[in-house]
């Protein structure tokens, strides 16, 4: 774990303090995001997208997982279009709402997104009919783009509390015998914190990409 992380041990007192700290930080992040105008979110999304497509890890990857954005996240539609224009393979999440299980399923085109069903979170994801190929059973991933509510400069990430990405990264490690895809979080600059509280099960990400102040 990177130095500077707010790492707390497994004791019940520490876990209660950790959950309280995460809850408070989630509320603060949601407050910051709610204060952003739609125009500002689109402006920062465009700036982050430009940084990503110029990034060597993106340029050199072939198989990439991209999240489909909620309204308070960096918008990824232009990134997905670029993935297909560059001839890369694109995978998107399918979450199971009653567990922390997530698969990354292959898209055939950027236009296919608009034909996918909407979830209760008002984002689109593949139906559970098994018609799309899963990344880990068809060659793995080179790069995963990560969403989240808050991030710090040590690579610590505050998710929404379900553990989907931490669990998926663990599956990546098991599937590839210890190696994992490179991970880049996409963030608004307002989502950058001094410190995100974490435990030993929270997996740090390799890099956070945002518009520098």
pLDDT at 123: 81
Highest mean pLDDT among 27-41, 160-174, 191-205: 27-41
pLDDT band at 19 (very low <50, low <70, confident <90, very high): confident
Residue 100: helix, strand or coil by DSSP? Answer: coil
Rounded to an integer, the average pLDDT of 81-98 is: 92
Q: pLDDT of 157-178, one tens digit each? A: 999 888 899 889 989 988 876 6
Q: Is residue 7 pLDDT above 60, yes or no? A: no
The domain segmentation of the chain, as residue ranges, is 9-209
At 162, list the tokens: 């379900």
The percentage of the chain sitting over the pLDDT mark of 90, rounded to a whole number, equals 62
Maximum Cα–Cα distance for the chain, whole Å? Answer: 51
What CA–CA distance (Å, rounded) separates 88 from 22? 36
What is the DSSP secondary-structure string of 25-46? HHHHHHHHHHTS-HHHHHHHHH
CATH topology of domain 9-209: Rossmann fold (3.40.50)
pLDDT at 51: 97
Please state at what angle helix 38-53 crosses helix 77-85, rounded to 10 degrees: 30
């Amino acid at each position: 774990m990177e130095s500077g992380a707010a790492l707390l041990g497994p004791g019940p007192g520490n876990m209660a303090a950790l959950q309280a700290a995460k809850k408070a930080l989630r509320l603060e992040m949601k407050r910051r995001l709610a204060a952003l105008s739609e125009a500002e979110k689109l402006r920062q999304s465009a700036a982050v997208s430009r940084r990503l497509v110029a990034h060597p890890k993106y340029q050199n990857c072939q198989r990439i997982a991209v999240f489909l954005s909620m309204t308070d996240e960096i918008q990824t539609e232009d990134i997905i279009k670029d993935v297909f224009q560059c001839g890369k393979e694109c995978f998107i999440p399918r979450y199971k709402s009653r567990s922390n299980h997530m698969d990354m399923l292959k898209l055939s085109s950027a236009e296919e997104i608009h034909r996918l069903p909407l979830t209760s979170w008002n984002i689109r994801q593949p139906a559970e009919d098994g018609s799309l190929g899963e990344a880990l059973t068809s060659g793995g991933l080179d790069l995963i783009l990560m969403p989240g509510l808050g991030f710090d400069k040590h690579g610590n990430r505050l998710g929404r509390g379900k553990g989907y990405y931490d669990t998926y990264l663990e599956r990546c490690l098991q599937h590839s015998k210890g190696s994992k895809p490179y991970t880049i979080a996409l963030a608004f600059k307002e989502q950058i914190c001094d410190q995100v509280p974490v435990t030993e099960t929270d997996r740090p990400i390799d890099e956070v990409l945002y518009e520098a102040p």
